[in-house]
Every structure is written in C-alpha cells, then in structure tokens.
Structure 1
Amino acid sequence: MNTRQLRTLLAVREHGSVHAAAAALFLSPSAVSQQLRSLATACGFSVVERDGRGIRLTARGLEMAALGDELIRRWDSTVDSLRRTAAEPVERPARAVRLGALPSAYRTWLFPVVHRLRTRGRLAFELFETAPHEAYEEVEAGRLDLAVVVRPPGPRATSLTSHPLYRDPFVLVVPRALGGTAPSLRGLADAGWVLPGRETHCHEVIVRHCARLGFRPRAAARSNDWQAMQEMALLLGAVAVVPASCLAPRDGLAAVELSPAERFEWRIELTTRASATAMPWFTAFDREVSRLSFEDRLSARSAA
C-alpha cells in the first residue's frame, strides 16, 4: 500500500467515477483502475463497487478512505516540516537536485541550463524524463525536487507552487506531396494521422482539440517521440500536429501555422513544492532559467 493508491481512492470518493477521478489526478482511467485494484489486493477486500454508471466506495472502502485522509495529512505535514528544518543540505555539491522534464524541454533549452549550473554553481543533478500526468505527483511525493511540465487544467495540490515559463503552440506538419498551400485541420479530417500513444496526455490534448472542431483523427501510426512522428508522417504520407519547440525541418514535409480558429497550444511551467522555493539550489535554478527568452526560441524554431 502507498500514498498514490490512497490519493486515488480519495479522488474516487470525491468524484464518483474513474474518469472524473482520472481527470482530477491527471492520470489515465486505466491507471486509476490499476491503483484501485492494487489497493484492494493489498487490503484483501474490495474498496469500490459499481453504482449505476459510476462507482462508489464500499463500507470498508469508506473506512479506508477515512484512514487515508489522516495518513496523507500527516505525511505531507511531516515531509514539509523535515524539509524546513534541514540544514540546507542542497548547498553541498554531493546533493543531487532531482529534476524531471519533458523530452522536448531537455532537447531545446534545459540541457544547457543544467550544464551551466553544474559547472558554475557546482550543483549536482539527477535527470528524469517525466510524462505530464506524472510530474506533479512525483514532485508532491518528494521523488522529484522540481519539474518542467505541461500545465494541466484545474487546480493543483496546495503544497505545490508553479511558475509559468512559456507557451508552446502546436503546428501542423503535412507532406508536400499532399498539395495545398494552407491546409486546415478540418480539411484533413479524412487523412491518416500520426498520433501519440492512446494513454498519454499528448494524445488527449490533440484528440480533444480535434473533437471541438467536429472530427476524430484516424491513426495511421503512433509514437510518443515528436521527431519520430514527423518521420512517420513523411514516410506514410500522413499528417500530424506537434509542438513548435519540437519541429525538425525535413525535405518533403511542410510545417503550417494553424489559423486563429484552429490554433491551440500548451503552457509549460516549472513546478516545485512550496517549501523548496527558499532553498539556495532553487534560487540558482530559477535565476538561470529567467535569463532565457523562450518566445524568441520558439518563434525561430517555428519559422525554420
């Protein structure tokens, strides 16, 4: 049993369905179901049961949720207290700052930041690739010190603080062989699409946007690597939308800025526990990041 399972149970108690709990936790429905099954196995009894189209907690599940409330409150309070009273261990070079980030952030600007902080600031780092739905949970649980993530909808945990970094607009990539100087997303509704994996936040962002435009894209290929998606689009004569920061110009593939009516983006932010913002390592990291001009970098990449 772990705090992740208990937080999942509490979300189901509050929202009354797997899908609503998944949205609140920034997880996939299958991940929520897996957490509930793991908790039931650890406890030796069912913690949820069907209730019409939704689910509800069993009598024992409600007792477990009440215990979970108390345990998580004590966990968060104790971790915050221990961190506040620590004698600034992060100032020692041996202390590794645990940093999570999107692959696109690492590739475009974050590696140089880490390099400068390691050589000039004598900070040590442990680097992790994190999916958007994982990052907040990992920071809140203390497994990461900070993360560069996609800002999700809705409120975050009160123990976290976030700093906006930049907006990353999505760009349509189309094989030039398809013709047309300014194709629209709606006009490509019947085309083959290269999409991210079904269980990813990236897939959800793209599919939801297409649904608002009145269609569901048909997958001709799938990849969780934005650059591989562009290679697949070129190879298969398919189309894709990718963040502007991940564009990789290729012969035979056109990058098209979306019209205002079809434009969408995601917002990239830096998140950490509120108690960490007073730490010297965070001050050094935030200062280094603030020197970068993200909008200029994205505009240059989009125009390439």
Structure 2
Amino acid sequence: MIDTRRLRTLRAVADHGTVTAAAAALHLTPSAVSQQLAALEHEVGHRLLTRDGRGVHLTAVGRIMIRHANEVLAQLERAQAEVAAYTTGAAGEVTVACFATAISAVLSPAIARLREETPGLRIRVRDAEGDHGLTMLLDGTADLTIAVEYRGAPDAADRRLSLLPLYAEPFDLVLPHDHPLATGDPAGAISLGSLGEETWIGPYPGNPVHDVIAFACERAGFTARFAHCSDDFRAVVALVGAGAGMAVVPRLALRDMALSGVVVRPAPGPERRVFAAIRRGADSHPLLRPLLDALLAVAGPLGGD
C-alpha cells in the first residue's frame, strides 16, 4: 500500500528540485523527507529520483508516479470537499496567497462582500509575489492563490490545479515629466517600439510582471535594458520621477498612487492576466465556492474573462 503522504513529499521534491527546498516547504527536516522518499521507493520497488549536482530529477518511474500522484491527490481533495459539504455549512477558514495589487483590487473587496453574504467564512491573507503563491498552494500552506500568467506558469492542462481567469489588466507607460514623449495628448498611446533605446526601470527577473514586459518588448523588436530593479511599484514610480529612467507599470498598481514628477500614457501591448487557482478536486469545497464567486463578481468590472 502506497502512503499518500509520501506521494505529497515526492511531488514537493519534483516541484522544488531539491530535498532541502521541499523539506522547508513541507515544514520537515531534509532527513525526514529523504526517509519518506526511501520508503516510497521501497513500496514501489524502483528508484524514483536521481541526483544531479545539488538537485534531483525524476526517473522514468518517478514521472509515472508523479502523474498518478496528481490524480490520487486531486481525488482526495474531492473527497474532502464532499465530506465538508456534508458535515458543515460555509463556515471555517481559508488561506489565500495573493500579490499586493490584487489584494487591493479584488481580494479585499471580495472579503468585504463575504462578511455580509457568508459571515461564517474567515479569510487569512498571505502576501505572495511572483510565483510564490503557486508554491504555497501546491505545498498546502494556502488553499487558494491569485497569481499572474507568465511564460512557464501552470495552464489549464496542469493536472495539479484548477484555474479560474479573473481579469486582464493593461499597462501604462510612466515617464519623467520632462521626457520628450511626455508632451501631447494625455490619452495618446506610445508605441513600445519607440522605447528601445530608453533606460528601463522595473521588477526583478523572476517576477511575472518582468516577464510580461520583457516579452512585449521582444515582440516590439528589442530587448529592454533594465538599469534599476524593484518589485515595489511605488519605488519604480519614484525612480521615474527622479529622472532615472522610464517604466511600464500595471494600471491598477498606479491607482491611488502619488504621481508627482511623472507623466502617464497608455502602453499598448503588455497585459497582466490574473487568475485564481485551487488544487484540482477542491472546486466544490463549500468554503472555496463562495470565495471564488465573490472574486469573480469583483473582478468583472476590471475586465474579467
């Protein structure tokens, strides 16, 4: 009999690439993770992992086990959802991992709605930038995450997750007030192709927004030269105001922000597509369904799909 806890451990190692990182995510010691993997290999009768420098890779049998682990764990999520639906109403706690802009734009208004509509539902919020929210979801430290699409992000075919598109957000170009392109029609869009020689300010590589901007610049025919990096958009805008360069920023991130010393123009091309994700099989959980419905209701006016 294969222990499902060991399947979760195997999937965590596959997701994180090292025993040490998987142990940290699972709140176990590396020794405990290694012991669980060894026990799973004994149960299966085959090697599941091979070492490659500091990391590990799945063997052919390991890949087979991961495929079945995704199905088994999704079925367990469905079982837990049915039991919860049978034994309780929509009362309990849900942990949500979400990046800062979406906390302000959709999660906080959704929580306000739920306080009226589903008062027994308690939401715990964890700020998670980049792809950290997806990691928390897969590790079981979050029940739902709100994240941004990027190259390499999970898609609808991922057997571990169920995805729900929320909204698509345009970007704006932020320029120093004395920049030659800062004059003219305030509503007039500026082509990204005209910015190839500019000094860029933006998020660090690895942040999904950096990836969205870089891909849009590549499509416009150039590689953006990021001279200054910050994952805090207020810091990015402050640097633009100081004349350190220009930036392309998600529109909602500029909402309610002091924009002294800068000029904002529409930037056609880049778009931040935001989605909610839960573990596959948890779709009908009575605590998650009201939250998903509230998120969709709030996201609709923002450009929901």
Q: Same fold (TM over 0.5)?
A: yes
For residues 137 and 118 of structure 2, what CA distance do their matches in structure 1 show?
23
Cα distance in 2 between the residues matched to 1:92 and 1:161: 20
Residues 167, 235 of structure 1: alpha-carbon distance in 2 compared, 3 angstrom cutoff: same
Q: Secondary structure at the match of 1:210?
A: helix
CA distance in 1, matches of 2:72, 2:219: 42
Does structure 2 retain, via aligned residues, the 8 Å contact 1:98–1:125? Answer: yes
Give the total of aligned pairs. Answer: 264
Map of 1:26 onto structure 2: none
Contact (CA 8 Å) 1:3, 1:72: kept in 2 or not?
A: no
Q: Tell me what 1:172 maps to.
A: 173
Q: Which amino acid in structure 1 is aligned with residue 18 of structure 2? A: Q
Quickly say closer, same or farther: Cα 1:271–1:5, change in 2 above 3 A.
Answer: closer
Match of 1:187 among 194, 200, 203: 194
Q: Percent identity?
A: 20
Q: Deviations over 1:222-272 (max 9, x none)?
A: 11112221112112431011111111351221111124xxx1212222222
Q: Does 1:255 align with 2:264?
A: yes
Q: Within 1, Cα distance between the matches of 2:201 and 2:167?
A: 25
Deviates more, 1:170-179 or 1:243-252: 243-252
Identify if the C-alpha distance between structure 1 residues 88 and 129 changes in structure 2 by more than 3 Å, giving closer, same or farther: farther
The answer to which structure has the higher helix fraction is 1
Long gaps (5+) in structure 1:
9-31, 299-304
Q: How far did 1:197 drift?
A: 1.1
Change (3 A) 1:85 1:210: same
Residue among 107, 111, 136 paired with 1:110: 107
- 1:47 equivalent in structure 2: 50
CA 1:225 to 1:268, structure 2 compared with 1: closer, same or farther past 3 Å? same
Indicate conservation of the 8 Å contact 1:100/1:135, yes or no: yes
Aligned to 1:21: none
Choose which of 113, 120, 129 in structure 2 pairs with 1:131. Answer: 129
Deviations 1:79-112 (A, max 9, x none): 433333335566364x211112221011223213
Do the aligned residues in 2 keep the contact of 1:36 with 1:47 (CA within 8 Å)? no
Quote how far apart the aligned CAs of 1:215 are.
Answer: 1.8
The structure-2 alpha-carbon separation of the partners of 1:100 and 1:241, relative to structure 1 and needing over 3 Å to count, comes to: same
Deviation at 1:124, TM superposition (A): 0.8
Partner of 1:35: 18
In the TM superposition, what is the alpha-carbon distance from 1:146 to its structure 2 partner? 1.8
Change (3 A) 1:90 1:145: farther
**Helix, strand or coil for the counterpart of 2:298?**
coil
Deviation at 1:277, TM superposition (A): 3.0
Query: Which sits farther off after the overlay, 214-223 or 153-162?
Result: 153-162
Q: What RMSD, in angstroms, separates the aligned Cα atoms of the two structures?
A: 3.6
Aligned to 2:285: 279
Provide the residue aligned with 1:160 in structure 2.
161
- Once residues 253 and 192 of structure 2 are traced to their aligned partners in structure 1, the CA distance between those partners, rounded to angstroms, is 19
Aligned counterpart, 1:144: 142
| Post-superposition CA distance 1:130-184 (Å, at most 9, x none) | 2353334433444322222223464442353333222101111111111223653
- The aligned amino acid for 2:105 is T
CA distance in 2: counterparts of 1:109 and 1:87, whole angstroms: 26
Distance change (3 Å), C-alpha of 1:128 and 1:90: farther
Q: SS at the partner of 2:105?
A: helix
Tell me if the contact between 1:210 and 1:216 (Cα under 8 Å) persists in the aligned partners: yes
- 1:177-196 Cα offsets, whole Å, 9 max, x none, are 11223653332222221121
